[in-house]
Amino acid sequence: MKRTLAVIALTIIANIALATGWRITTKYYSIPQNRASERTEEVFLLNGYMKMVNGNLTTIFNLEQNEIIYINNLNQTYWKGNPSRFNAEVRAELEIMVEEKLYGVEKEQQEAMRLMYKEMIDASFPTEGSVKQRAKSFSVHKEKEGETISGFSATKYKILEEGLYLETIWITKELPIANDFNFINLSQFLNQLASGAYAASFESSNEYFKLVNEGYPIKVQIQRGDGSLQISEVTSAEKINLTPADFSIPAGHTPSTLTDVGVWDGFL
């Protein structure tokens, strides 16, 4: 019996050692509770690949090929391209959506609303003529060690932007995900996709990279202007066996537009 248990234990240890990727489950919620904003997302990481599964929409980043794939598992469609194609098509599709939303609106209100939507689009997906986002300064302040989040020991940090409170983040050293996945490469990739909003964010800063090199952000808490809290919290994380095939388009899916795939649901 002891020998059998020893064999099982060694098999488990060997499988963990041979595991090539990570599966991370994160829940998103608000305080006070807002069920409409609650969701659960699964993230799969393999060196050079990232897959996010959120309801019927799956997003895949192939960092080595500089490629992004959106997959709608409900209508079995997908969109595939590089950041240049993404940025060109996203603006065109969003501008069409804006005009559809303005249909029936009184003429004197249309121009003001059109300008508001244009500013929203420019902020996330700027063109050469768009106003560039100003670089921001961030500072990280350790607040407390040894807090337990989802069974993992974590250190609590307060993040300031331009000297003002931005968010609270908990980092755990018990999830050495940065050893298997390059978050700096991910940031450089995201800067191509949403260079406006993302380039000026904390997640693209050197201060953030220093934190993820120490451990994984297991919880993030942001306070909104109305006093409510928006929280993302890892509920489970484990090493698993993954291959590049796990980051491919499923058989039977057909190519379509970003809108048909459902990328922009709720954006405007």
What does the alpha-carbon distance between residue 69 and residue 62 come to, in Å, rounded to a whole number?
Answer: 8
Helix ranges (DSSP H) in the chain:
2-18, 83-102, 107-124, 183-193, 195-199, 206-214, 258-261
- Is this prediction's pTM over 0.75? yes
Does residue 1 carry a pLDDT above 80? no
Mean pLDDT for the chain overall: 84
Residue 217 in contact with residue 169, Cβ under 8 Å? yes
Beta bridge partners of 236: 25
Integer Rg of the chain from CA: 21
Site of tokens 């599966």: 23
Specify the pLDDT at position 3.
43
Q: How confident is the model at residue 194 (pLDDT cuts 50, 70, 90)?
A: low
HSE of 20 in the Cβ direction (CA atoms, 13 Å)? 11
